[in-house]
């Protein structure tokens, strides 16, 4: 493995160095950036001196304002105390200068996006809020506790250095366990292969819909994001609304799966699960609910069915899913050719991508919320990480098989083959416009992994009658969105060419999208019939209680353990 892959796996340093060299070739743009920074520095200097001497106007707004949603600067000390005021303003001035210099480099779109992200991550790391003596809240806590918070924070940091790779812990997941207080909807494992288990859930209504419902999770996380806990479970919600539900639970890959391909996941994942669901229920096409990467795979399965004439899918619900990767958002900084090539070299050593590496990537996309917030809370303020089910699930991620992950990144993120009518399965070219089934496309307005404007493109890419709905919250909380006072969503019965047009005419509803989805799915689930007398079938008898074996496998475990 190339040593640079370990030190800088995403090639951020090289990107920033390249931006610096190109900025140097644009003396006019660079000079303007420096003049702007000099003028700001003079304003900052005068404003800081005014605060020191308590001159008239010292309470005026700061010359450089942080972003409105940047909660790092919420302490009044950043405005009132000259010391902290000067530190904050100097830091923000530096950020503005770096942004202007990158703009002066005249990079192409992908280079510009990567350089901006790399610079932002570096500057977020160096923020004064991350250090004890330049964080007013941490100093106040230390004084109020007689230094006890500093001692606790140091203990937390040492624990994370020893047990969490030096990253701050986001959650205390010791009190959470699938089958105990998570993934609790009653059911049975009715099928198991070397790639996945299939769970069938017990009916909870006097009658059920005729068409069964299969939940297809992403293979990058455990399936129980859809069955988080009682009252927070989309699977439970569907069961209680009369659907005969099944769910795929993927195995956590190890070295033996290094050559498992993308096509293997397609055929032995959703297509195999659909076959078993049909054999157990006797149904024709099956309705599906698909999360993130699971939705990408199901969309490909639908196009494959359209191409081959064997279509096992009735309708599809896509939750925070990309099918058109032309604008993947910040993840584009991690999916260019040099980064993917380096990733392939690292995966070649052990046959898979470690779960932690992928999780760190997602954390870096929102570093202030998902990394540095916990540096402050845990290490500087001496607080314990929260016990929170959503974060506990997020902490329970899985590995990626080398061959499959490389194929996925190249064919989807790098080449965008599916949206360009160029994705092949078993020698057959797939055309998303040939998909004619109804779809329900859901995105979350604050999703940092799948931007909602990109997820919207599924509703214009597939050829059927597509409904798009926009939820509040982010990538995870937008899915786990049970009825409650904070839940709301937007709907618009029309699909426009651009997402901004859709939003302009959308109606906001002060309730969860789960209710809108339940009505939409109920209209497409067939007639009501008596529920099955027992789970499974003679060919596929129940094997064990849900949540099954695979969901409990940790790195190092094998299916035989």
The set of catalytic residues is 292
Give me the numbers of helices (H) and strands (E) for the chain, helices first please: 22, 17
- How far is the C-alpha of 134 from the C-alpha of 229, rounded, in Å? 40
β-bridge partners, 468: 441
Chain centroid offset of residue 438 CA: 25
Placement of tokens 């404003």 in the chain: 47
Handedness of CA 499, 411, 405, 305 (dihedral sign): positive
Tell me the three-class secondary structure of 283-306, residue by residue: CCCEEEEEECHHHHHHHHHHHHHH
- How far is the C-alpha of 506 from the C-alpha of 456, rounded, in Å? 13
- How far is the C-alpha of 260 from the C-alpha of 77, rounded, in Å? 55
**Tokens standing for residue 510:** 């002060």
Nearest to 454 by CA among 487, 500, 494: 500
- How far is the C-alpha of 73 from the C-alpha of 71, rounded, in Å? 5
Residue pair 433/427 in contact by the 8 Å Cβ criterion: no
Residue pair 488/510 in contact by the 8 Å Cβ criterion: yes
Distances, alpha carbon 305 to alpha carbons 311, 312, 313, in Å:
4, 7, 8
Chain centroid offset of residue 465 CA: 27
- How far is the C-alpha of 150 from the C-alpha of 147, rounded, in Å? 5
Q: β-pairing, 313-319 with 439-444?
A: parallel
**Tokens standing for residue 471:** 């939820």
Nearest to 265 by CA among 214, 313, 311, 219: 219
- How far is the C-alpha of 100 from the C-alpha of 37, rounded, in Å? 9
DSSP 8-state secondary structure symbol assigned to residue 66: P
Nearest to 183 by CA among 547, 529, 554: 547
Phi-psi region of 309 (alpha: psi -120 to 50; beta: other; left: phi over 0): left
Q: How many CA atoms lie within 13 A of 541 on its CB side?
A: 1
Nearest to 407 by CA among 398, 417, 397, 399: 417
- How far is the C-alpha of 352 from the C-alpha of 518, rounded, in Å? 38
- How far is the C-alpha of 560 from the C-alpha of 553, rounded, in Å? 10
């Amino acid at each position: 493995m190339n040593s640079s892959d370990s030190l800088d796996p995403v090639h951020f340093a090289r990107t920033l160095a390249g931006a610096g060299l190109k900025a140097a070739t644009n003396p006019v743009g660079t000079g303007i950036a420096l003049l702007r920074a000099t003028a700001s520095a003079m304003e900052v200097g005068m404003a800081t001196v005014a605060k020191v001497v308590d001159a008239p106007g010292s309470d005026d707004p700061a010359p450089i304002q942080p972003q409105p949603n940047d909660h790092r600067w919420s302490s009044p000390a950043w405005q009132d105390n000259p010391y902290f005021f000067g530190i904050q303003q100097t830091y923000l001035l530096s950020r503005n200068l770096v942004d202007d210099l990158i703009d002066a480099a005249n990079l192409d779109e992908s280079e510009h996006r990567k350089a901006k992200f790399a610079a932002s991550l570096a500057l977020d790391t160096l923020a004064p809020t991350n250090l004890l003596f330049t964080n007013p809240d941490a100093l106040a806590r230390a004084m109020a506790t007689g230094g006890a918070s500093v001692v606790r924070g140091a203990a937390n940091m040492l624990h994370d250095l020893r047990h969490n790779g030096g990253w701050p812990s986001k959650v205390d997941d010791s009190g959470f366990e699938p089958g105990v207080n998570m993934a609790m909807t009653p059911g049975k494992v009715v099928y198991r292969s070397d790639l996945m288990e299939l769970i069938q859930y017990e009916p909870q209504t006097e009658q059920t819909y005729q068409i069964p419902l299969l939940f297809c999770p992403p293979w990058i996380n455990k399936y129980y994001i859809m069955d988080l806990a009682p009252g927070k479970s989309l699977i439970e919600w569907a069961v209680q609304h009369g659907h005969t539900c099944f769910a795929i639970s993927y195995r956590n890959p190890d070295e033996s799966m290094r050559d498992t391909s993308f096509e293997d996941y397609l055929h032995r994942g959703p297509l195999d699960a659909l076959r078993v669901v049909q054999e157990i229920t006797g149904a024709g096409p099956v309705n599906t609910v698909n999360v993130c990467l699971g939705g990408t795979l199901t969309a490909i399965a639908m196009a494959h069915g359209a191409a081959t004439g064997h279509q096992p899918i009735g309708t599809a619900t896509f939750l925070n899913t990309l099918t058109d990767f032309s604008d993947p958002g910040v993840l584009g900084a991690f999916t260019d050719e040099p980064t993917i090539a380096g990733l392939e070299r690292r995966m070649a050593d052990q046959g898979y991508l470690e779960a932690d590496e992928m999780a760190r990537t997602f954390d870096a996309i929102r570093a202030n919320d998902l990394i540095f917030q916990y540096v402050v809370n845990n290490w500087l303020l001496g607080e314990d990480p929260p016990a929170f089910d959503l974060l506990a699930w997020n902490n329970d991620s899985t590995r990626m098989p080398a061959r499959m992950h490389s194929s996925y990144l190249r064919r989807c993120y790098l080449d965008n083959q599916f949206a360009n009518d160029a994705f092949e399965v078993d020698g057959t070219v797939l055309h998303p416009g040939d998909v004619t089934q109804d779809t329900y496309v859901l995105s979350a307005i604050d999703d940092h992994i799948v931007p909602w404007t990109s997820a919207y493109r599924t509703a214009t890419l597939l050829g059927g009658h597509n409904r798009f709905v926009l939820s509040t919250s982010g990538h995870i909380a937008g899915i786990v969105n049970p009825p409650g006072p904070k839940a709301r969503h937007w709907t618009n019965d029309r699909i426009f060419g651009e997402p901004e047009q859709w939003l302009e005419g959308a109606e906001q509803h002060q309730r969860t999208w789960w209710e809108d989805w339940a009505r939409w799915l109920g209209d497409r689930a067939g007639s009501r019939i008596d529920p099955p007398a027992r789970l499974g079938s003679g060919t596929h008898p129940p094997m064990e209680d849900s949540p099954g074996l695979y969901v409990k496998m940790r790195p190092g475990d094998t299916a035989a353990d």
